[in-house]
Protein backbone atom coordinates (compact mmCIF):
# COMPACT_ATOMS: atom_id res chain seq x y z
CA UNK A 1 0.00 0.00 0.00
CA UNK A 2 2.77 2.39 0.99
CA UNK A 3 4.69 1.92 -2.27
CA UNK A 4 1.45 2.42 -4.26
CA UNK A 5 0.71 5.66 -2.39
CA UNK A 6 4.25 6.93 -3.00
CA UNK A 7 3.87 6.29 -6.73
CA UNK A 8 0.35 7.77 -6.98
CA UNK A 9 -0.02 11.59 -7.23
CA UNK A 10 -1.96 13.34 -4.48
CA UNK A 11 -5.69 12.66 -5.02
CA UNK A 12 -6.92 16.02 -3.78
CA UNK A 13 -4.84 19.13 -3.22
CA UNK A 14 -6.30 22.34 -1.85
CA UNK A 15 -4.03 25.34 -2.33
CA UNK A 16 -4.78 28.75 -0.81
CA UNK A 17 -8.53 28.12 -1.07
CA UNK A 18 -10.73 31.05 -0.04
CA UNK A 19 -14.49 31.51 -0.13
CA UNK A 20 -17.24 33.59 1.44
CA UNK A 21 -19.34 32.09 4.21
CA UNK A 22 -22.59 34.01 4.21
CA UNK A 23 -22.27 37.80 4.01
CA UNK A 24 -19.58 38.47 6.63
CA UNK A 25 -17.23 35.53 7.19
CA UNK A 26 -14.53 33.96 5.08
CA UNK A 27 -13.30 30.43 4.69
CA UNK A 28 -9.57 29.98 4.39
CA UNK A 29 -7.04 30.46 3.03
CA UNK A 30 -6.77 26.66 3.28
CA UNK A 31 -3.95 24.33 2.25
CA UNK A 32 -4.90 20.67 2.57
CA UNK A 33 -4.09 17.32 0.98
CA UNK A 34 -6.00 14.07 0.75
CA UNK A 35 -4.11 11.02 -0.46
CA UNK A 36 -5.50 7.99 -2.29
CA UNK A 37 -7.47 5.76 0.09
CA UNK A 38 -7.31 8.15 3.08
CA UNK A 39 -10.28 8.71 5.40
CA UNK A 40 -10.81 12.20 6.82
CA UNK A 41 -13.67 13.44 9.02
CA UNK A 42 -14.53 17.14 8.70
CA UNK A 43 -15.83 18.46 12.03
CA UNK A 44 -16.85 21.86 13.34
CA UNK A 45 -19.68 23.78 14.97
CA UNK A 46 -22.95 24.22 13.13
CA UNK A 47 -22.88 26.94 10.47
CA UNK A 48 -19.10 27.17 10.37
CA UNK A 49 -18.87 26.23 6.70
CA UNK A 50 -18.34 22.45 6.50
CA UNK A 51 -20.95 21.90 3.78
CA UNK A 52 -19.61 24.94 1.93
CA UNK A 53 -16.11 23.45 1.91
CA UNK A 54 -17.44 20.08 0.75
CA UNK A 55 -19.33 21.81 -2.08
CA UNK A 56 -16.18 23.67 -3.12
CA UNK A 57 -14.33 20.35 -3.26
CA UNK A 58 -17.23 18.83 -5.20
CA UNK A 59 -17.00 21.67 -7.78
CA UNK A 60 -20.56 22.74 -6.93
CA UNK A 61 -19.30 26.15 -5.76
CA UNK A 62 -16.56 28.35 -7.18
CA UNK A 63 -13.91 29.67 -4.76
CA UNK A 64 -13.04 33.34 -4.45
CA UNK A 65 -9.37 32.45 -4.46
CA UNK A 66 -6.98 29.50 -4.61
CA UNK A 67 -7.36 26.13 -6.24
CA UNK A 68 -8.78 22.66 -5.74
CA UNK A 69 -6.80 20.10 -7.72
CA UNK A 70 -8.22 16.61 -8.19
CA UNK A 71 -5.85 13.97 -9.53
CA UNK A 72 -3.39 16.73 -10.36
CA UNK A 73 -5.82 18.85 -12.41
CA UNK A 74 -7.67 22.01 -11.35
CA UNK A 75 -11.39 21.30 -10.89
CA UNK A 76 -12.18 23.90 -13.56
CA UNK A 77 -10.50 21.60 -16.10
CA UNK A 78 -12.83 18.67 -15.38
CA UNK A 79 -16.10 18.01 -17.21
CA UNK A 80 -19.15 17.07 -15.16
CA UNK A 81 -19.19 13.58 -16.69
CA UNK A 82 -15.45 13.14 -16.08
CA UNK A 83 -15.86 14.02 -12.41
CA UNK A 84 -18.89 11.73 -12.10
CA UNK A 85 -16.72 8.79 -13.16
CA UNK A 86 -14.13 9.48 -10.43
CA UNK A 87 -15.94 10.98 -7.45
CA UNK A 88 -19.38 10.81 -5.85
CA UNK A 89 -21.12 13.31 -3.58
CA UNK A 90 -23.76 12.60 -0.95
CA UNK A 91 -25.21 16.01 0.00
CA UNK A 92 -26.94 16.83 3.26
CA UNK A 93 -30.37 17.16 1.64
CA UNK A 94 -31.76 15.76 -1.57
CA UNK A 95 -34.48 16.88 -3.93
CA UNK A 96 -36.00 13.89 -5.70
CA UNK A 97 -38.64 13.94 -8.39
CA UNK A 98 -42.06 12.93 -7.11
CA UNK A 99 -42.99 9.27 -7.50
CA UNK A 100 -39.61 7.61 -8.22
CA UNK A 101 -39.10 4.22 -6.65
CA UNK A 102 -36.01 3.47 -4.57
CA UNK A 103 -34.04 1.56 -7.22
CA UNK A 104 -34.57 4.36 -9.76
CA UNK A 105 -33.11 6.85 -7.29
CA UNK A 106 -30.10 4.52 -6.85
CA UNK A 107 -29.78 4.09 -10.62
CA UNK A 108 -29.51 7.89 -10.95
CA UNK A 109 -26.03 7.46 -9.50
CA UNK A 110 -25.05 5.76 -12.77
CA UNK A 111 -26.89 8.16 -15.09
CA UNK A 112 -23.70 9.95 -16.19
CA UNK A 113 -21.84 6.67 -16.84
CA UNK A 114 -21.78 4.57 -20.00
CA UNK A 115 -24.71 2.12 -20.31
CA UNK A 116 -23.81 -1.14 -18.58
CA UNK A 117 -25.63 -4.50 -18.87
CA UNK A 118 -24.66 -5.15 -15.24
CA UNK A 119 -26.32 -1.89 -14.14
CA UNK A 120 -29.41 -3.46 -12.54
CA UNK A 121 -27.28 -5.97 -10.60
CA UNK A 122 -25.01 -3.18 -9.39
CA UNK A 123 -28.03 -1.18 -8.20
CA UNK A 124 -29.35 -4.19 -6.25
CA UNK A 125 -25.92 -4.92 -4.72
CA UNK A 126 -25.37 -1.27 -3.81
CA UNK A 127 -28.76 -1.23 -2.06
CA UNK A 128 -27.87 -4.38 -0.12
CA UNK A 129 -24.52 -2.90 0.93
CA UNK A 130 -26.26 0.29 2.14
CA UNK A 131 -28.73 -1.77 4.24
CA UNK A 132 -31.51 -0.75 1.81
CA UNK A 133 -32.11 -4.09 0.05
CA UNK A 134 -35.54 -4.42 1.66
CA UNK A 135 -36.62 -1.09 0.10
CA UNK A 136 -36.58 -2.37 -3.50
CA UNK A 137 -39.86 -1.40 -5.17
CA UNK A 138 -40.80 1.20 -2.53
CA UNK A 139 -41.62 4.75 -3.59
CA UNK A 140 -38.85 7.06 -2.36
CA UNK A 141 -41.23 9.77 -1.14
CA UNK A 142 -43.01 7.28 1.15
CA UNK A 143 -39.80 6.28 2.97
CA UNK A 144 -38.77 7.50 6.43
CA UNK A 145 -35.83 9.89 6.77
CA UNK A 146 -33.49 7.05 7.74
CA UNK A 147 -34.70 4.86 4.87
CA UNK A 148 -34.21 7.72 2.40
CA UNK A 149 -30.68 8.23 3.76
CA UNK A 150 -29.86 4.56 3.03
CA UNK A 151 -31.23 4.79 -0.52
CA UNK A 152 -29.16 7.93 -1.16
CA UNK A 153 -26.09 6.17 0.20
CA UNK A 154 -26.77 3.28 -2.17
CA UNK A 155 -26.90 5.85 -5.00
CA UNK A 156 -23.30 6.96 -4.39
CA UNK A 157 -22.18 3.34 -3.89
CA UNK A 158 -23.69 2.52 -7.31
CA UNK A 159 -21.89 5.47 -8.88
CA UNK A 160 -18.44 4.39 -7.66
CA UNK A 161 -19.16 0.64 -7.66
CA UNK A 162 -16.71 -0.28 -10.43
CA UNK A 163 -14.23 2.57 -9.88
CA UNK A 164 -10.88 2.25 -8.11
CA UNK A 165 -9.07 4.86 -6.01
CA UNK A 166 -11.80 7.51 -6.46
CA UNK A 167 -13.19 10.03 -4.01
CA UNK A 168 -16.33 9.78 -1.89
CA UNK A 169 -17.65 13.04 -0.36
CA UNK A 170 -20.45 12.64 2.18
CA UNK A 171 -22.21 15.34 4.21
CA UNK A 172 -23.69 14.11 7.49
CA UNK A 173 -24.68 10.73 6.02
CA UNK A 174 -25.81 9.31 9.37
CA UNK A 175 -27.83 12.23 10.76
CA UNK A 176 -31.28 10.62 10.44
CA UNK A 177 -30.32 7.19 11.79
CA UNK A 178 -30.58 5.35 15.09
CA UNK A 179 -27.27 4.47 16.85
CA UNK A 180 -27.25 0.85 15.66
CA UNK A 181 -27.79 1.86 12.05
CA UNK A 182 -25.25 4.67 12.38
CA UNK A 183 -22.61 2.12 13.28
CA UNK A 184 -23.73 -0.34 10.61
CA UNK A 185 -23.73 2.30 7.86
CA UNK A 186 -20.46 3.85 9.04
CA UNK A 187 -18.90 0.41 8.62
CA UNK A 188 -20.62 0.00 5.24
CA UNK A 189 -19.22 3.33 4.02
CA UNK A 190 -15.67 2.73 5.24
CA UNK A 191 -15.75 -0.88 4.04
CA UNK A 192 -16.96 0.21 0.60
CA UNK A 193 -14.20 2.83 0.37
CA UNK A 194 -11.49 0.49 1.68
CA UNK A 195 -12.31 -2.33 -0.78
CA UNK A 196 -11.95 -0.02 -3.78
CA UNK A 197 -9.17 2.20 -2.46
CA UNK A 198 -11.45 5.26 -2.46
CA UNK A 199 -10.58 8.23 -0.30
CA UNK A 200 -13.41 9.31 1.98
CA UNK A 201 -14.13 12.82 3.22
CA UNK A 202 -17.12 12.94 5.57
CA UNK A 203 -18.79 15.86 7.34
CA UNK A 204 -19.78 14.54 10.75
CA UNK A 205 -21.11 15.84 14.05
CA UNK A 206 -20.43 12.64 16.01
CA UNK A 207 -16.93 12.91 17.48
CA UNK A 208 -16.85 9.24 18.47
CA UNK A 209 -17.69 8.02 14.96
CA UNK A 210 -15.00 10.34 13.59
CA UNK A 211 -12.38 9.07 16.04
CA UNK A 212 -13.32 5.42 15.58
CA UNK A 213 -13.52 5.19 11.80
CA UNK A 214 -11.23 7.81 10.28
CA UNK A 215 -7.52 8.37 10.00
CA UNK A 216 -7.48 12.16 10.30
CA UNK A 217 -9.68 15.01 11.49
CA UNK A 218 -10.05 18.35 9.75
CA UNK A 219 -11.33 20.70 12.43
CA UNK A 220 -12.95 23.79 10.90
CA UNK A 221 -13.24 26.72 13.31
CA UNK A 222 -15.33 29.91 13.16
CA UNK A 223 -12.30 31.91 12.01
CA UNK A 224 -12.31 29.88 8.76
CA UNK A 225 -9.10 27.91 9.38
CA UNK A 226 -8.63 24.15 9.64
CA UNK A 227 -6.54 22.12 12.08
CA UNK A 228 -5.43 18.79 10.62
CA UNK A 229 -4.92 16.19 13.35
CA UNK A 230 -4.75 12.40 13.64
CA UNK A 231 -8.08 10.81 14.62
CA UNK A 232 -6.61 9.56 17.90
CA UNK A 233 -8.63 9.88 21.11
CA UNK A 234 -5.47 9.19 23.09
CA UNK A 235 -3.70 12.25 21.65
CA UNK A 236 -3.97 15.17 24.09
CA UNK A 237 -3.73 17.67 21.20
CA UNK A 238 -6.97 16.21 19.81
CA UNK A 239 -8.82 16.56 23.10
CA UNK A 240 -7.62 20.15 23.52
CA UNK A 241 -8.52 21.05 19.94
CA UNK A 242 -12.03 19.57 20.20
CA UNK A 243 -12.60 21.42 23.49
CA UNK A 244 -11.64 24.72 21.90
CA UNK A 245 -13.69 23.98 18.78
CA UNK A 246 -16.96 23.16 20.51
CA UNK A 247 -16.38 25.14 23.71
CA UNK A 248 -17.13 22.14 25.89
CA UNK A 249 -14.90 19.87 27.95
CA UNK A 250 -14.25 16.30 26.89
CA UNK A 251 -13.42 13.48 29.34
CA UNK A 252 -11.09 10.78 28.08
CA UNK A 253 -12.42 7.37 29.08
CA UNK A 254 -11.10 3.89 28.41
CA UNK A 255 -13.50 1.55 26.64
CA UNK A 256 -13.07 -2.01 25.31
CA UNK A 257 -12.69 -0.35 21.87
CA UNK A 258 -9.86 1.90 23.10
CA UNK A 259 -9.85 5.49 24.43
CA UNK A 260 -12.94 7.62 23.81
CA UNK A 261 -13.72 11.32 24.29
CA UNK A 262 -17.03 11.96 26.03
CA UNK A 263 -18.55 15.47 26.28
CA UNK A 264 -18.73 16.74 29.87
CA UNK A 265 -22.11 17.85 31.23
CA UNK A 266 -21.00 21.41 32.00
CA UNK A 267 -20.24 24.03 29.34
CA UNK A 268 -16.70 25.32 29.07
CA UNK A 269 -16.37 28.78 30.61
CA UNK A 270 -13.78 30.16 28.09
N1 LIG B 1 -26.83 29.60 -0.42
C2 LIG B 1 -26.52 30.29 0.67
N3 LIG B 1 -26.88 31.60 0.78
C4 LIG B 1 -26.57 32.33 1.87
N5 LIG B 1 -25.93 31.82 2.93
C6 LIG B 1 -25.57 30.54 2.90
C7 LIG B 1 -25.84 29.70 1.77
N8 LIG B 1 -25.36 28.47 2.04
C9 LIG B 1 -24.83 28.54 3.27
N10 LIG B 1 -24.94 29.77 3.79
C11 LIG B 1 -24.48 30.23 5.10
O12 LIG B 1 -23.11 29.90 5.22
C13 LIG B 1 -22.83 29.47 6.54
C14 LIG B 1 -22.16 28.10 6.48
O15 LIG B 1 -23.11 27.13 6.05
P16 LIG B 1 -22.71 25.60 5.93
O17 LIG B 1 -23.94 24.85 5.51
O18 LIG B 1 -21.50 25.47 5.09
O19 LIG B 1 -22.33 25.28 7.46
P20 LIG B 1 -22.10 23.86 8.17
O21 LIG B 1 -20.87 24.00 8.98
O22 LIG B 1 -22.16 22.75 7.20
O23 LIG B 1 -23.38 23.82 9.12
P24 LIG B 1 -24.25 22.60 9.76
O25 LIG B 1 -23.32 21.82 10.65
O26 LIG B 1 -25.31 23.32 10.52
O27 LIG B 1 -24.78 21.78 8.61
C28 LIG B 1 -24.14 29.47 7.30
O29 LIG B 1 -24.18 30.65 8.08
C30 LIG B 1 -25.18 29.50 6.22
O31 LIG B 1 -26.34 30.17 6.66
Q: 48 alpha carbon to ligand 1 midpoint, in Å?
A: 7
CB of 225 shorter than 6 A to ligand 1: no
The residue whose C-alpha atom lies closest to atom 1 belonging to ligand 1 is: 22
Check whether 2 has a pLDDT greater than 50.
no
Confidence of residue 175 (pLDDT cuts 50, 70, 90): confident
pLDDT at 4 over 60: no
Does residue 129's CB lie within 6 angstroms of at least one atom of ligand 1? no
Ligand 1 centroid, distance to 172 Cα (angstroms): 14
Q: How many other CB atoms are found less than 10 A from the CB of residue 112? A: 14
Residue 72 has pLDDT above 50, yes or no: yes
- pLDDT higher than 90, residue 48: yes
Q: In whole angstroms, what separates CA 118 from the centre of its chain?
A: 27
Residue 251: pLDDT over 80: yes
User: For a pLDDT cut of 70, what percent of the chain falls above it?
Assistant: 94
Q: Quote the CATH superfamily of domain 2-86+163-267.
A: P-loop containing nucleotide triphosphate hydrolases (3.40.50.300)
Residue 148 Cβ contacting ligand 1 at under 6 Å: no
- Determine the distance separating the centroid of ligand 1 and the alpha carbon of 171, expressed in angstroms: 12
Which ligand 1 atom lies nearest to the CA of residue 203?
22
**Residue 268's pLDDT band (boundaries 50, 70, 90)?**
low
Write the residue with the smallest CA distance to atom 29 of ligand 1.
47
pLDDT of residue 157: 98
Residue 267: its pLDDT value, please? 67
| Confidence (pLDDT) at 6 | 53
Q: 50: Cβ below 6 Å to ligand 1?
A: yes
Evaluate: CB of 93 within 6 angstroms of ligand 1. no
Q: Is 80 left (phi over 0), alpha (psi -120 to 50) or beta?
A: alpha
Question: Is the CB of residue 51 below 6 angstroms from any atom belonging to ligand 1?
Answer: yes
pLDDT tens for 213-249 read: 999 999 999 999 999 999 999 999 999 999 999 999 9
From the CB of 91, is ligand 1 less than 6 Å away? no
CA-nearest residue for atom 17, ligand 1, is 51
Q: What would the mean pLDDT of 54-60 be, rounded to a whole number? A: 96
Verify whether ligand 1 is closer than 6 Å to residue 182 (CB atom).
Answer: no
Of 213 and 270, which is predicted with more confidence?
213
DSSP symbols for 79-125 = -HHHHHTTEEEE-SS----TT-BHHHHHHGGGTTSPP-TTHHHHHHH
Q: What is the mean pLDDT of residues 113-142?
A: 93
Supply the DSSP symbol for 214. -
pLDDT above 60 for 79: yes
Residue-level pLDDT at 97: 64
| Residue 227 per-residue DSSP state | E
Average pLDDT estimate for 160-167: 96
Say which range, 3-7, 99-103, 169-173, has the weakest mean pLDDT: 3-7
Sorting pLDDT into bands at 50, 70 and 90, what band is 23? confident
Q: What is the ipTM of this complex?
A: 0.95
The alpha carbon of 85 and the centre of ligand 1 are apart by a number of angstroms equal to: 28
Query: What pLDDT was estimated at residue 7?
Result: 57
Which pLDDT value is given to residue 215?
A: 98
pLDDT in tens, 194-219: 999 999 999 999 999 999 999 999 99
Ligand 1 atom nearest the C-alpha of 220 is 21
Crossing angle of helices 145-159/119-129, nearest 10°?
130
- 244 alpha carbon – ligand 1 mean position (Å): 21
Amino acid sequence: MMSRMMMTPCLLEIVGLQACIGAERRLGPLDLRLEVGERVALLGPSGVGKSTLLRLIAAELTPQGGQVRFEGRDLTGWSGAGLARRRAVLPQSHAVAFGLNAELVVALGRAALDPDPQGADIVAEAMAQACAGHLLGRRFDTLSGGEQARVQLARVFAQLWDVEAGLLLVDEPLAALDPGLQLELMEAITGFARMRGHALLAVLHDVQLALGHFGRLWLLGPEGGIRDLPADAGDERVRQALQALYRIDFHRVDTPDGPALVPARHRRSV
